[in-house]
Structure 1
């Protein structure tokens, strides 16, 4: 492409400081260096983690540097590649990944984990392998959130943090697979390994929780209890497969775990925590049955402390955590895209709003107000959007 090797000036939503609205700015995106890929971001969705980073910044749970460009649920097209890149070429459709997958380290070769640490510390700090960002604004370096920064029309990532996907995939849909949907769905089918005929409780009905319900339904769990304090989410939860919906505020005098245990005559087989609250994590664990119950924590928090009565574990329960749903990102995301293309995985149903980049602060407000599941932000044009392959 004519822009290869040159600095690209484009629009991005910049967070200059904590707890302030994002500012739409002209930014400069430098060319990709060795083992890096520069992509044109076509669409991105807004995740609660983006909001958390911006509006809870400065708390002990948030150590991200500013200024930065947020966004980590995106999809786009390769614009150019740096030296020594062999797996990607201009024109490839890709999904950027906040979790790398080098395919060579002990963790990538293990079937027990997906937690590749290639460039991990740098990407957590908002820079790439050489310790710098590829984005700048007003002559100042702007950090890349989780090494991604999909709230920019162009961005640069390591070649180990990209998934090449089906050329026919609609980018304004599959961008959701960059985080929330993959995490919740994987928490159920990949980490918990929910079984046919089992009972489940899902705590939190955002995108992660709804995706967890979708996973539980796919493996034919017999009972799926959806838990949330916002009853307006219950209809959507049932659409995804919930058999029961419970609002903890409707049960004064009882904890939610007591309610779930009574509903299931002893507790559920699987509980999935999709909020990121230590209190709800404990609620979820105590909702599982003795002698074999499993609780999986999918909700994100960085430094919070969870308090667990030891007896709850001693009585035969298993407590697990999951990151990105247990998927090996670069290997498994293309497979999830294919499931969507074959109409075996829901994505469209998560999208409640679509907005241009200029209105990204409105997307945050919709999220905070509980009015959206996922808002998709349009950053560019996709030349074609073929229909999905019939199931």
Structure 2
């Protein structure tokens, strides 16, 4: 049964850049008119959460962590029409009004009415979460490493309650970002060649998206040998471990693509040195690179000659996926088990043991850590 009272619950909190994460009691206010309060069931850990802890430039502290997850609507604001109490939802960090200039254009997923929120606050620049009277900020649109959280109803997708909880969490950011980068952002063509740098959940998503649209050569690049099997499960045709060769990753990619480079590349690590390599790994004159990884360092220096030779470099948020129109298609595929998302699920912990997750992430066999509430 829902309540419009303040709820006391546990959440994972970071008090400052580079400081540890602690699980503490917080207070979560009732939702305002366009908001919903969600009882979280399951969450997962994304690279963006790690960079947030380390001091990503847009984050403010104290920070209530997490942005991937799935939960049940506990209560709704008076103006909410798209969901009701008891519905299952996944959070998104971009919205889709379908009426603004960007939404109508069909050229971008960045809605102008419901934009990417970097303030760590709700749309009215206040917070629904506090600890000992002190306001808490969150990562983008919400805070999923919490037993309860509040999110604007314009930043959610209602999903079938029969969906696998862990898999639903994975598609709320990481996997979908990579999948969309190939499907929607690069618009990979049938019969083309692709190189994916970094085979975490995002990179594996890019492989899956490239496979779905009919790429015939999909090269995965990662120093972790254990990612070979994961990549193959999602559709990778060739694997490069740069540590196994005296040649550079760039040379190895070109060897696999007749010396010309691939049609498309995806940089999924956020490591600046790899960006130039991923661009130069594509064909001169028409190669396309999608930058997906978000790192803490600025992307400099950059090999401008790489671009002057006619290649394209494009940034991407959420893989170009529209928050409802496209994500609903991915959720349906997830429900039908069209993706081998079980390959991502390698570790599970209860919320109270959140710090164990960071140790798991250092292990070579770890892809995604699931957090159970």
The TM-score by the shorter chain falls in which range? over 0.9
Q: Which residue in 2 is equivalent to 1:149?
A: 143
Question: What is the root-mean-square deviation of aligned Cα atoms in Å?
Answer: 1.7
Residue 384 of structure 1 is matched in structure 2 by none
SS in 1 for 2:31: coil
Q: Name the structure 2 match of 1:184.
A: 178
Look up the SS of the partner of 1:124 in the other structure. coil
Whether 1:217 aligns to 2:219 is no
What is the deviation of 1:192?
Answer: 1.2
Equivalent-residue separation in structure 1 for 2:290 and 2:2 (angstroms) = 48
Following TM superposition, by how much is the alpha carbon of 1:19 offset from its aligned partner in structure 2, in angstroms?
2.0
Compute the displacement of 1:167 (Å): 2.8
Aligned to 2:16: 17
Counterpart of 1:382 in structure 2 is none
- Counterpart of 1:388? none
Post-superposition offset of 1:302? 6.3
Stretches of structure 1 that go unaligned for 5 or more consecutive residues are 380-391
TM-score, normalised by the number of residues in structure 1: 0.91
Q: Distance in 2 between the 1:83 and 1:137 partners?
A: 26
1-side partners of 2:346 and 2:41: how far apart? 18
Counterpart of 1:97? Answer: 92
Deviation readout 1:178-203 (Å, 9 max, x if unpaired): 11000001111111111222111110
The Cα offsets for residues 243-272 of structure 1, whole Å up to 9 and x where unpaired, read as 2111222333x4321221122111111111
SS of corresponding position for 1:331: coil
Helix, strand or coil at the partner of 2:338: coil
Counterpart pick for 2:103 among 102, 108, 133: 108
Match in the other structure for 1:40: 39
Q: Residue 250 of structure 2 corresponds to which residue in structure 1? A: 257
For 2:365 and 2:131, how far apart are their aligned partners in 1? 32
1:287 CA displacement: 0.3
Give the counterpart of 1:80 among 75, 100, 107.
75
Q: Are residues 1:52 and 2:51 paired? A: yes
Query: Within 2, Cα distance between the matches of 1:359 and 1:148?
Result: 21
Listed as ranges, the gaps of 5+ residues in structure 2 are none
Number of residue pairs the alignment of both structures matches? 372
Aligned equivalents of 1:170, 1:244: Cα separation in 2: 30
Q: Distance in 2 between matches of 1:251 and 1:108?
A: 46
Deviations along 1:314-346, whole A, 9 cap, x unmatched? 333221121101011133222211011222223
TM-score (norm 2): 0.95
- Residue among 211, 230, 234 paired with 1:240: 234
8 Å CA contact 1:46, 1:364 repeated in 2: no
